[in-house]
Amino acid sequence: MDKHSFEEAAELMHLFPLLGAFIGFLAGMFAFLIFKLLPNLVVGILTLGFLLLITGLHHTDGLLDFGDGLMAQGSPQKKIKVMHDKQTGTGGVALGLITFLTTALAIGGLTRIIILQSLVTAEVSAKLAMVVAAWAGKSAHKGMNTYFINIMHDRYRSLRMIAALIISFGIAMPLLPFIGVIGIVASILTGLIMVWISNRHFRGMTGDVFGATNDLARMTTLIAILAAIKWL
C-alpha cells in the first residue's frame, strides 16, 4: 500500500468494526457448517486457519514481531529494530503459539448455537481494540501506524471513537445480550493494555503492535465470552 492508500484507510478507521463483523460472519459460517462433521477441537483449529487465511496473515506477522520486541533487551530503539528483523525469534514463536492455541481452543469450546455470534463479536472486538489503541496511543516512529494514530488524534477524535463504540456495541449486544457487552469491554481493556505495554517497551505504538493488538483482542474476547457463558 502507498501513502495515499494508508491515508484513505486511516480516514475510515472508526468503521473497522464493520469490517470485523464481515470477517467474523464468514468465519462463523465456516465453523457452523463444519461443526457437525468434525470434533470441536478440529473445528477450532480449522476456523482459526480460515480466519488467518482470509486476513492474509498480516496481523500474524505483527504478533510474532511484537513477541520478539518484548523479549529483546536494551533501549526502545533496539527493541523496535528487533521487531523489524525478518527473522522470528523465541519470543515471537512463544507468543504466537500461546495466542493461536488459546484462540483455537476457545473457538472449539463454543457450541454450534452461538459460534457464529461469538466469532462476529470477536472480530468486531479485534478491530475495535485497534481503534482504541490508535485513539489512546502515540506513534513510536513514522510509519504505517502514524497515519492511523494521526487520524484518531484529529479534531474529530472523540466522534470517531464514539462511532466505533456505537457500531461495536450495536452489533454485539443483539447477537449476544450482556455476554456480547463483556466481550467488547474485554477488547477495550486489551487495547488500553497494549498501549501501556507499547509505551513502556517502545515509547509508542508501531504497526506490529497494531497487528498484535488485533490477534490478542480476538483471543481475550473469546475467553471473556466463554467465561461469561460458564458463570452466567
The residues spanned by each domain of the chain are 3-231
Phi-psi bin for 110: left (phi > 0), alpha (psi -120 to 50), beta?
beta
Q: Does residue 1 surpass a pLDDT of 70? A: no
Q: What is the pTM of this model?
A: 0.93
What are the pLDDT digits (tens) for 18-65?
Answer: 999 999 999 999 999 999 999 999 999 999 999 999 887 777 888 999
Better-scored residue on pLDDT, 61 or 221? 221
3-state SS class at 139 = strand
Which of helix, strand or coil describes residue 57? coil
- State the cell numbers at 15: 468503521
Residue 2 has pLDDT above 60, yes or no: no
pLDDT at residue 3 in the model: 59
Q: What is the pLDDT of residues 160-201, one digit of tens each?
A: 999 999 999 999 999 999 999 999 999 999 999 999 999 999
* pLDDT value for 38: 96
Give kind and range of the element (H or E) at residue 34. Answer: helix 16-34
Angle at 100 between CA 98 and CA 105, to 5 degrees: 95
